[in-house]
Structure 1
Amino acid sequence: MNGAADGLNEKRGIVVVATRNMGKVREFRHALEPLGKEVRSLHEYPEAPEVEEDGSTFAENAFKKAKEIGDFLKLPVLADDSGLCVELLNGEPGIYSARYAGEHGNDAANNAKLMDELMRLRQGDDTEQPLLSPARFVCALVLYDPATGRSLEAEGEVEGWITSETAGAGGFGYDPLFFVPQYERTMAELNVEEKQRISHRGEALKRLLDKLN
């Protein structure tokens, strides 16, 4: 593991984040730029390959993205795979979170399908409780260095509830539906610092940076 950290630290300060999701890029940039890293996204590398996320776990998908794109660009690549696991839906949408409604990255459609599924299962309940089901966000991160063939990996998660009352204009994905009990707000209502402090991606980043440093 030390060899991996040494190799990654020796690279010039460019880290390519394997996403075109600017919400994720902002979060990674917020964490990495104070360390002197220049964070770039796939928007700056339109020639980078599209990676089929056919792994059976978040970690497998993250590693595959980091390795394929890193080997292609010949630069260190940070890839994540993350998603929402809802207790009442037996862990769904899980690794299919980004394409739950069929079209990858369509947040509105994914949120609508999630609500439809939960409301169908909750039919007949007498409660007016807006919290529909316990849930957790999970994130797997992989930082891969093609110069050494080594990688660093970390995972994080945060527990909360899916609420029927969407709130907040920040964040992305399922954030407006994910209620965080310790803040009594949804993830989409948190600012970048608050979200980084408790989110699944923030927790995974802390663990990754501990290894890198």
Structure 2
Amino acid sequence: MKVFLATKNKGKIKDFEKLTEGMDLEVVTILDGLDIPDVVEDGKTFEENSRKKAKEIADYTRIVTISDDSGLCVDSLDGGPGVYSARFAGENASDRERNEKLLEVMKDVKKENRQAHFVSVVSIAFPNGKIHSFRGEVNGEILFELRGSNGFGYNPLFYSYELKKSFGEADDEERKRVSHRAKAFRKLIDSELLKEK
């Protein structure tokens, strides 16, 4: 099956390729030179953004499209930055700038109140209009300093309860096992939708 992975984030492309190793899939991304329209992610939830992106790009390319909307939800920030995770420090901010802003915003939050979870919603849209979504979550807390440089985004600040280390300190295999994106993708893979003709 040919699938288009609708993201411009090279970290997500790498994650997806790792998760689908050994599967009978031809994965196409923007790195293959396919031109896609920008989708305005104006939904209030990860589900709304993920479904909108998958549907609009499947309609445009006529290729089965997989999209992911994901972010960090911090309890003491009322679930923020949430769907605004990528724009938390401004539209074109770097990962480092986003992490520095989070540290600044949370500088007075005590360790026992730093619980957080990563959420990923993966949607698959077919050119015939059919669409399905799958949600994955992973629990942890926000550290007081960056730890590790693996992965991307908020990984160096997110301490995973399952791994007992930050996602920035975890290798690809460890993150593949427990990450929110991995959990959502596994649900998609288990659904057998990637085997539909």
Same fold (TM over 0.5): yes
Within 5 Å, which residues of 2 pair with 1:3-42? 13-42=1-30
Structure 2: unaligned runs, 5 residues or longer: none
Root mean square deviation, CA, Å: 1.6
SS in 2 for 1:35: coil
Whole-angstrom CA distance in 2 between matches of 1:105 and 1:154: 28
Q: Which has the higher helix share?
A: 1
**Any idea what the Cα deviations from partners look like across 1:112-163, whole Å, max 9, x if unmatched?**
11111001x43xx6xxx5x7600000000101111x2112210000000100
Range with greater deviation from structure 2 (50-59 or 186-195): 186-195
Whole-angstrom CA distance in 2 between matches of 1:202 and 1:160: 16
SS in 1 for 2:80: coil
The corresponding residue for 2:130 is 150
Deviation of residue 33 (structure 1)?
Answer: 3.4
Whole-angstrom CA distance in 1 between matches of 2:170 and 2:51: 29
Task: List structure 1 segments (4+ residues) > 4 angstroms apart after TM superposition.
Answer: none
Is residue 2:55 matched to residue 1:75? no
Structure 1: unaligned runs, 5 residues or longer: 1-12
Range with greater deviation from structure 2 (158-167 or 182-191): 182-191
Q: 2:177 aligns with which of 197, 201, 206?
A: 197
Is residue 2:121 matched to residue 1:140? yes
Deviation of residue 104 (structure 1)?
Answer: 4.3
Within 5 Å, which residues of 2 pair with 1:147-186? 148-186=128-166
Q: Is the 8 A contact 1:62 1:81 kept in 2?
A: yes
Task: Give the letter for the 1:56 counterpart.
Answer: K
Deviation of residue 17 (structure 1)?
Answer: 0.9
